[in-house]
Structure formats: structure tokens, C-alpha cells
A and B are shown apart, each in its own frame.
Chain A
Amino acid sequence: KQEVTQIPAALSVPEGENLVLNCSFTDSAIYNLQWFRQDPGKGLTSLLLIQSSQREQTSGRLNASLDKSSGRSTLYIAASQPGDSATYLCAVLNQAGTALIFGKGTTLSVSS
């Protein structure tokens, strides 16, 4: 059974810091991996999608990497801003392409 773990559960940083969020999964047979952002009580916003054949994706200040063989992904956020404060969720799509399996998320707080 696929399990997704995110470390740390919570993170507080001052504005301007670069930071890394970690995601690990137990079964390397995945279709793709997606990173989402969730603001309190709201839906999910897709940040980056990495196909299983890719190693990384970049969008603005965000860079996500994927090492399928070791079952790990990282989300790098450069020059953090207070507006980046949210919960970040990592999810892997099963090989059948039917279900996203999520971690519990990392709650990020960026102080000005």
C-alpha cells in the first residue's frame, strides 16, 4: 500500500529565507507526483507536476525534484515571502492513473 510522508509537519522561517520541504513515498511505481498549496479552509492549488520520467520542474521561485528510485521529492522555495504561508501537500498518482495519494502536509509560516 502506497504511503506518503512529509517532513517537517510545520516550519517557521523569517521572510527572505530559502527553504526545502520533503516528501517520501514507499512504492516507486507512480504515474506522477504533484505539489499543492492549501490555504486554511480552502481547496488545493496545483503548484508543480513532475511526470515519473522527469527529474525536476520549475515555476518562478519554486523548484520540485523527483528521485523515483529512492522514493523522494523535494520542494524548494526561494526567497520566501509572508504570502507563501500555507500548507503544502505532496501527492503521488498511482500507476493506474486513478487516485492521488496525499501526505499530511507541511504547514509553512513566513514572518515579515
Chain B
Amino acid sequence: DAGVTQSPTHLIKTRGQHVTLRCSPISGHKSVSWYQQVLGQGPQFIFQYYEKEERGRGNFPDRFSARQFPNYSSELNVNALLLGDSALYLCASSVNRGGDTQYFGPGTRLTVL
């Protein structure tokens, strides 16, 4: 079975631009979560979506938004990019929300110049 996939692998943007990151969960998984990991730190929670509804939001500004589609894939959008948004963006999926094991994708490396 294919694991969690993310696209693109790498991305370079300039300050003020907008970016869209994509995630496809493992087949049969209904929950998708997004995390931001800056160098040397653990991942920080951004959003959780379950059955196409937002179920949790971390401490990130409104420039960050996301959605989940009927096929359970998800997009993370970031507007008005700042240098500090440079990070590895990780997507995780699980069968249901709550106590199931979360499986992570390889991440998208975003560099903001």
C-alpha cells in the first residue's frame, strides 16, 4: 500500500507570495493533520481535518488555511509568506481522529527568500 504522499517535494518562494501544499492520505484514512517543523525543533501542529471538517487548529496566524476534499486529500495554503515560514511541512493521516497511529508523509521543504 502507498503511504502518505505530499507534493511538491521542494519549493522556493519569495516574501509576500502565496503557496499551496498538497497531501494524499493512506487509502481508507479519513483524518489528515498538518505540522510545521523548523530546523532543530519538533513538529508544531497546524490543523487537523476529519471527514472534511476542521477539528483542530494550532497557534498559527490566519495566513494559514487548509481544506479537505471528498476523497480525503488535503491542501494547506499560506498567504503573504514571511521568511519565518521557511520549514518542512509535514502531513499525517490516520484512520479516524483521536487515538489511532498517525502516519507521516515525507514532507514539503519550503524556502522563503
Q: Which A residues lie within 8 Å of B106 (CB)?
A: 42-43
Give bound CA distance, A96 to B104, whole Å: 20
Interface of A toward B, CB cutoff 8 Å:
4, 31-32, 34, 36, 41-46, 49, 51, 89, 91, 93, 96-105
Contacts A34-B101, A42-B106, A49-B101; A96 near B42 (Cβ below 8 A): no
What is the minimal beta-carbon distance from A12 to any residue of chain B, in angstroms?
A: 18
Interface of B toward A, CB cutoff 8 Å:
4, 33, 35, 40-45, 48, 55-56, 58, 88, 90, 92, 97-99, 101-107, 109
Question: Of B40, B41, B56, B107, which is within 8 A of A43 by CB?
Answer: B107
How many interface contacts (CB-CB < 8 Å) are there between A and B?
Answer: 64
Q: Determine the main DSSP class of A at the interface with B.
A: strand
Give bound CA distance, A43 to B4, whole Å: 10
Give bound CA distance, A44 to B44, whole Å: 13
Q: Is the CB of A31 within 8 A of B43?
A: no
Give the top 4 A-B pairs by smallest Cβ distance, nearest first.
Answer: A98-B56, A102-B42, A97-B98, A99-B45
Give bound CA distance, A105 to B41, whole Å: 8
Q: Which B residues lie within 8 Å of A31 (CB)?
A: 98-99
Q: Is the CB of B97 within 8 A of A97?
A: yes
Contacts A34-B102, A42-B107, A51-B99; A98 near B42 (Cβ below 8 A): no
Q: Is the CB of A104 within 8 A of B41?
A: yes
Q: Is the CB of B104 within 8 A of A99?
A: no
Q: Is the CB of B101 within 8 A of A98?
A: no
Not counting A36-B104, A98-B45, a sample of 12 additional A-B residue pairs whose C-beta atoms are within 8 angstroms of each other reads A34-B101, A34-B102, A43-B107, A44-B43, A44-B104, A45-B104, A46-B101, A46-B104, A89-B43, A99-B58, A100-B92, A102-B43
